[in-house]
Amino acid sequence: MTIRTVRPNRGQRFRPRTHCLKKLDAMVVEMQDPKNGVKGSEQKLNVTTIPHAITGANIIAWISNKMKTTTEEAQVFGTMLMAYGYIYPLQNHRKLVMCNDSSLYRFQTPYFWPTQQWVPEDSDYAIYLAKRNIRKKGMLEPYEQVDYNHLHEWLNHKWDFIVMQATEQYKAGRDRNKADRVVFDCQERAFWIVNRPPRRTHSALDVGPERLINPNVEEKITFDQYRRVNIFYQQAIMRSKVKSSVSLGALVKYITSYKNHDAFLAPCLPSNPWETDHDAYWTLNMRRVDVPTKMRVERWSFSLFELLTDLRGRDDFKIFLKKEFSGENLAFWEAAEELKWGTASSMSAKAESIFKTFLAPGAPRWINIDGRTMGLTVKGLEHPHRYVLEAAQTHVFMLMKKDTFFRYLKSPTYKEIQKKALSPEAHNFSPAQLEDNARNRSAGIHPIILWQQEEEEKAKAAAASVPVDVKAVMSKIDRKK
């Protein structure tokens, strides 16, 4: 028998946790229950009689009945049982897919079931391949031969040991009677197909990179960790929480507001580009359209955040603010955003420019925030970091949210754009037109080009909106005098 070695602790390298194994074990035991399990029988395959073979159709029917699911879901489940190695096919041993017909399968012996505790190593696989080679040269399939050659290279230092083990197993195998040997060979081959899958065989044991944590061991929590966790719990207990009815009510309200804007819940007008292969929906909703759609304008009214996130909405808001001569709050907010999300190297320069433009006494675009916040911010700007404007930015945002935003929604600017907004008719393509659309899918404009256009527009706007420095103008006039 293959020697089981406890996986060595190589300093935190473990297989990912597989939570489903316990349930799968229990399920497979039930499936083999003589009274209530899957109906099996002897089946004839070629010349041999195979005991305990079951048909795919019976397995799927049993699963469907037990889990109260559709046949399709039961088939998926059956395939997973094979992908994990609990059931193996008798006819095409490399195809780990459950078929809903008279294809034959058998339950794998529990000895070979997947387990989180033990993982087969390369040396185990090498022993298996070597053993088959000893039995009959040329018995290995091409992919196995490739594997064998690789292993011979990597494990060359252990090769004597491997051959010795393989020979012992081979000899032990010869002592068994033929029927048992055939069954065992089948089981062992099925095990290795799942653990070392050939290309194009989907095995669930083919997992990703190893993990830091050992899924079999309870985490040992250190002194320091307990201290930190306790402090965290204390803070969490103190933190103010909201009643469930209030917060859940807010979640429901959000869903209700956005219901008609969700393409999965309400039709997308004129049509969903993915369904009809026509990209009118995207063209109508581009960044810089003259006239936005009614849905888009409606969305601006949901919250200030929505209005500002949609740059077209932000443009409209700016038009309104210009009329009210109160654009400095938004300008400050935008500048603060640029500081927060900008490069580390640009921060000092940006902070200085923001101070001169918005915060300094007599600044050209002075923002009206409370004295305390102003004091804190100005002090913070002595050693600027990316969150130095946080307090001021939040204050300004709240001002806009609670006052300016609502005035905007009632303003002629907004009402005008609401009236002008487009309500596209739903597309009604004939099958021929749909085929045509599919053949002529538009490439749209590349995002890089759009980005370049945006940057140009921003530069133009910045140049145009430089506030008149009254002092400079006055002093020029004085000097001229």
Partner 1 sequence: VQVNPVKSQPTTSPLIPEMATQEVQLNETLAHLKTESETLKTKLEEERAKLHDVELHQVAEKVEALGQFVMKTRRTLKGHGNKVLCMDWCKDKRRIVSSSQDGKVIVWDAFTTNKEHAVTMPCTWVMACAYAPSGCAVACGGLDNKCSVYPLSLDKNENLAAKKKSVAMHTNYLSACSFTNSDMQILTSSGDGTCALWDVESGQLLQSFHGHAADVLCLDLAPSETGNTFVSGGCDKKANVWDMRSGQCIQSFETHESDINSVRYYPSGDAFASGSDDATCRLYDLRADREVAIYSKESIIFGVSSVDFSLSGRLLFGGYNDYTINVWDVLKGTRVSILFGHENRVSTLRVSPDGTAFCTGSWDHTLRIWA
> How many residues make contact with partner 1 (CB under 8 A)?
94
Under the binding rule (CB under 8 A), the answer on residue 481 touching partner 1 is no
- Report d(CA 251, CA 245) in Å as an integer: 10
3-class secondary structure, 148: helix
- Distance in Å, CB of 155 to partner 1, minimum: 21
Query: C-beta of 180: minimal distance to partner 1 in Å?
Result: 33
* Interaction residues for partner 1, span 161-200 (CB under 8 A): none
CB of 305 to partner 1, least distance (A): 4
Interface of this chain with partner 1, residues 100 to 159, rule: CB under 8 A: none
Contact status: 359 vs partner 1 (CB under 8 A): no
**Angle between helix 159-174 and 122-135 (nearest 10):** 50
Does 19 sit near partner 1 (CB under 8 A)? yes
Residues linked to residue 43 through DSSP beta bridges, in sequence order: 50
Per CB under 8 A, contacts with partner 1 among 420-479 are 441-444, 446-451
Q: In the set 118, 154, 161, 282, which binds partner 1 (CB under 8 A)? A: 282
Residue type (1 letter), 432: A
- Checking DSSP bridges between strand 104-107 and strand 48-55, what pairing results, if any? antiparallel
Name the segment binding partner 1 (CB under 8 A); options: 137-145, 312-320, 321-329, 390-398: 390-398
| Given 29, 67, 139, 472, the residue binding partner 1 (CB under 8 A) | 67
Stretch that binds partner 1, among 105-113, 123-131, 201-209, 417-425 (CB under 8 A): 201-209
CB of 32 to partner 1, least distance (A): 18
Return the sign of the alpha-carbon dihedral for residues 231, 232, 234, 238. positive
| Whether residue 384 has a cis bond before it, omega within 30° of 0 | no
Q: Which of residues 288-327 bind partner 1 (CB under 8 A)?
A: 303-305
- Which burial class, exposed, middle or buried, applies to 106 when counting CB atoms under 10 A from its CB (0-12, 13-18, 19+)? buried
- Using CB under 8 A as the binding rule, the residues of this chain from 369 to 388 that contact partner 1 are 386-387
Rounded to a whole number of angstroms, the minimum distance from the CB of residue 84 to partner 1 is 9
| Interacting positions 218-277 with partner 1 (CB under 8 A) | 219, 221, 223, 225-227, 229-230, 232-234, 236-237, 239, 241-252, 254-259, 261-265, 268, 272-275
Judge contact between 268 and 427, C-beta under 8 A.
no
The answer to whether the beta carbons of residues 101 and 54 sit under 8 Å apart is no
Cross-sheet strand order for the sheet of 104-107: 41-45, 48-55, 104-107, 87-89
Find the shortest distance in angstroms from Cβ 478 to partner 1.
43
Q: Which helix (H) or strand (E) holds 89?
A: strand 87-89
